[in-house]
Chain A
Amino acid sequence: MLTVSGVHTFYGAIEALKGVDLEVSAGEIVTLIGANGAGKSTLLMTICGNPPARAGRVIFEGEDITRLPTFEIVRRGIAQSPEGRRIFPRMTVLENLQMGSISAKPGSFNTELERVFHLFPRLKERIDQRAGTMSGGEQQMLAIGRALMSQPRLLLLDEPSLGLAPLVVRQIFQVIKDINREQKMTVFMVEQNAFHALKLAHRGYVMVTGKITMSGTGAELLANEEVRAAYLEGGH
């Protein structure tokens, strides 16, 4: 479904991705782990064309989307809940969700809204609250809910569990599992919470300073000594 091959991305003169290759197949949950500054968020953003790859190709469902403008890319069926959540603080919860449905099929708004409220009942209670005044966990739910509103075929999640209480983390991971299983949505996520994320994932990749250094099934990576030493010590 998604193929990233030989992707190089730069911020000015800084090379953040140094030739990334990976693949996500339809129906999978794929987790990407790596240290701070490895380039994980940059990869998710590059898939969405902001910043675009300077070299290499991003193929989504057989189409080369490397050079498309961001809004064209996401309208093809990709949604992202980005690093830092980036909800619109001066809009209400409902307006944020409406923004999420911009690239959705026309007429799907009400069913998607119900679905998101079913996954996150808290959002329904807060429907008219200004998003900026919500708690961190609520904002994370909103960010994921907003990404789901467009009913994407590929969902990109950047550290969905960051800064959340264990109970909320479990809830969020459960939601990811559910949408993957019930809605057949493909999920590609970046996580610091490597233990939970790899347990949930079908496959995983490890990124070190702009390059993929390891890949395998979730279970394989969880059992791997290097992975355990670098990303799992005391991690759960």
Chain B
Amino acid sequence: MEYFLQQLINGLTLGAIYGLIAIGYTMVYGIIGMINFAHGEIYMIGAFIAVITFLVLGTVGITWVPLMLLVVLIMAMLFTAVYGWTIERIAYRPLRNSPRLAPLISAIGMSIFLQNYVQLLQGARVKPLPPVVPGGFSLMERADGFVVQISYLQLTIILLTVALMYGFTQIIQRTELGRAQRACEQDKTMAGLLGVNVDRTISLTFVMGAALAAVAGVMVTLYYGVIDFYIGFLAGVKAFTAAVLGGIGSLPGAMLGGLFIGLIEAFWSAYFTIEYKDVATFSILVLVLIFRPSGLLGRPEIEKV
């Protein structure tokens, strides 16, 4: 029971991170019908910007943790937003009216480029970061001394994710930008006829997805304490799995899918073998694609009017 509870906490934390990345996949897919395979790299860049900003803050002597976190988050979101915007401009917009395969290949090319670019700039070695948010609550203790803990960091990750997802849903549901995004998803020509700047709306979708991935990058940096230029690939595939599992194109689906993947990974590592935890995720991807390609909350293609 106690062990189970601990895995639940760990799984929720991981799920929050995957969910944040998955939103970017699902939103971009929703609006341009394409998987942005460079999205995992955006997350990786977010993590690197986090490490760099922490180091800079350390050298200038800012050590108050809440302020550090805030500055790091803002910096990471800002920079990755610029990356997201640029990627759309360079790799996707020129191919907007090409056959579907073209932007897909361009996306993979962009992803490889970004990995190598970061490797060149930052080196191939793993970047460590000393723990920034130590400590936590002990929730309960088993007779044999096993303590169920939720660290302050886990709590921060979960709460921040919930807040971001809430805010984000509000933007999509209630603001003019959100409505324009949903309109572009359904009928770009009509959206344009009503005065929506479709290109700008697509750009902003990339920017928003990138900013959320950056938050995930910051949190993963804090959580694991090490990053390298290659983390974007695995996290990207897992978040992509989460988006597909939830129903690609569906915002609540991405959050739910992220949660699922996080929990599965945590429980698999705890009860089976940690070596095969990635295999578990990929098996799910394959199973979903075979048996329910529209995912948990996705709408089947036939509903298209």
Q: Report how many A-B pairs have Cβ atoms within 8 Å.
A: 63
What are 28 A-B pairs with beta-carbon distances under 8 A?
A: A48-B193, A69-B197, A70-B192, A71-B192, A71-B195, A71-B196, A71-B197, A71-B198, A74-B194, A79-B194, A82-B190, A86-B187, A86-B189, A86-B193, A88-B186, A89-B305, A90-B182, A91-B182, A91-B186, A99-B180, A99-B183, A99-B194, A99-B196, A102-B195, A103-B194, A103-B195, A146-B194, A150-B194
Contacts of B183 in A (CB 8 A): 88, 91, 99
Residues in A with CB closer than 8 Å to B189 are: 50, 82, 86
- Given A88-B187, A91-B186, decide whether A98 and B195 contact each other with a Cβ distance below 8 A: no
**How many angstroms from the CA of A150 to the CA of B194 in the assembled complex?**
8
Q: Which residues of B contact A74 (CB under 8 A)?
A: 192-195
User: Which 7 pairs between the two chains have the least Cβ-Cβ distance?
Assistant: A103-B195, A70-B192, A86-B190, A89-B305, A102-B195, A88-B186, A74-B195
B-to-A contact residues, CB < 8 Å: 176, 179-180, 182-183, 186-187, 189-198, 305
- In the complex formed, the residue of B with least CB distance to A49 is B192
Chain B residues whose C-beta falls within 8 Å of the C-beta of A27 in the assembled complex: none
Whether A80 is near chain B, meaning CB under 8 Å from some CB there, is: yes
- List CB contacts (< 8 Å) of A48-100 with chain B: 48, 50, 69-71, 74-75, 79-80, 82, 86, 88-91, 95, 98-100
Mask of A149-164 contacts with B, CB within 8 angstroms, 1/0:
0100000000000000
CA A179 to CA B23, docked complex, whole Å = 44
| Interface of chain B, main secondary structure | helix
Residues of A within 8 A of B179 (CB): 91, 95, 98-99
Q: Cβ of A102 and Cβ of B186 under 8 Å apart?
A: no
- Nearest chain B residue, comparing its CB with the CB of A74: B195
Question: Is the CB–CB distance between B192 and A88 below 8 Å?
Answer: no
Contact A132 B193 (CB under 8 A): no
Q: Given the known A-B contacts A89-B305, A99-B179, A102-B176, are A70 and B186 also in contact in the complex, defined by CB atoms under 8 Å?
A: no
The closest CB in chain B to the CB of A104 belongs to B195
- Residues of chain A within 8 A (CB-CB) of B195 are 71, 74-75, 102-103, 150
Min CB–CB distance A43 → chain B (angstroms): 14
Contacts of B190 in A (CB 8 A): 82, 86, 88
Q: How distant is the Cα of A48 from the Cα of B182 in the complex, in angstroms?
A: 22
Question: Are A99 and B191 in contact, CB atoms less than 8 angstroms apart?
Answer: yes
Q: Which residues of A contact B (CB under 8 A)?
A: 48, 50, 69-71, 74-75, 79-80, 82, 86, 88-91, 95, 98-100, 102-103, 132, 146, 150
Bound CA–CA A91/B179 (angstroms): 9
Alpha-carbon distance A150/B179, docked complex (angstroms): 16
- Give the Cβ gap from B5 to chain A, nearest Cβ, in Å: 39
User: 4 new A-B pairs (CB below 8 Å) besides A74-B192, A89-B305, A98-B179?
Assistant: A91-B186, A95-B182, A99-B183, A102-B196
- State in angstroms the CA–CA spacing of A75 and B305 once bound together: 28
Contact A82 B182 (CB under 8 A): no
Chain A residues within 8 Å of B197, by CB: 69, 71
A88 in contact with B193 (CB, 8 Å): no
Alpha-carbon distance A168/B195, docked complex (angstroms) = 28
A214 → B minimal CB distance (Å)? 28
Instruction: State whether A90 and B194 are in contact (beta carbons under 8 Å apart), knowing that A98-B179, A102-B176 are contacts in the complex.
Output: no
A146 → B minimal CB distance (Å): 7
In whole Å, how far is A102's beta carbon from the nearest beta carbon of chain B? 4
Q: Chain B: which residue is nearest A90 at the CB level?
A: B186
CB distance from B99 to the nearest CB of A (A): 15
CA gap between A95 and B191 in the complex, in Å: 12
A133 CB → nearest B CB, Å: 10
Nearest B residue to A81 via CB reads: B193
Residues in A whose Cβ lies below 8 Å from that of B193 = 48, 50, 70, 74, 79-80, 82, 86
- Complex interface: chain A residues within 8 A of B182 (CB): 88, 90-91, 95
* Least Cβ–Cβ distance between A75 and chain B, in angstroms: 5
How distant is the Cα of A75 from the Cα of B179 in the complex, in angstroms?
18
Contact (Cβ within 8 A) A89 B194:
no
B176 neighbours in A (Cβ, 8 Å) = 98, 102
B197 nearest in chain A by CB position: A71
Q: Please, which residues of chain B bring their CB within 8 A of the CB of A91?
A: 179, 182-183, 186
Assembled-state Cα–Cα distance A103/B189 (Å): 15
Given contacts A89-B305, A91-B179, A95-B179, contact A100 B194 (CB under 8 A): yes
Cα-based distance from A146 to B195 in the complex (angstroms): 12
Chain B residues, Cβ within 8 Å of A79: 193-194
* Docked CA distance A86–B187 (Å): 8
A95 to B178, CA, bound (A): 11
Q: Tell me which residues across on chain B come within 8 A of A82, comparing CB atoms.
A: 189-190, 193
Contacting pair B186 A50 (CB below 8 A): no
Determine the chain A residues whose CB is within 8 A of the CB of B305 once the complex forms. Answer: 89, 132
| A146 cross-chain contacts in B, Cβ below 8 A | 194
A108 to chain B, nearest CB (A): 14
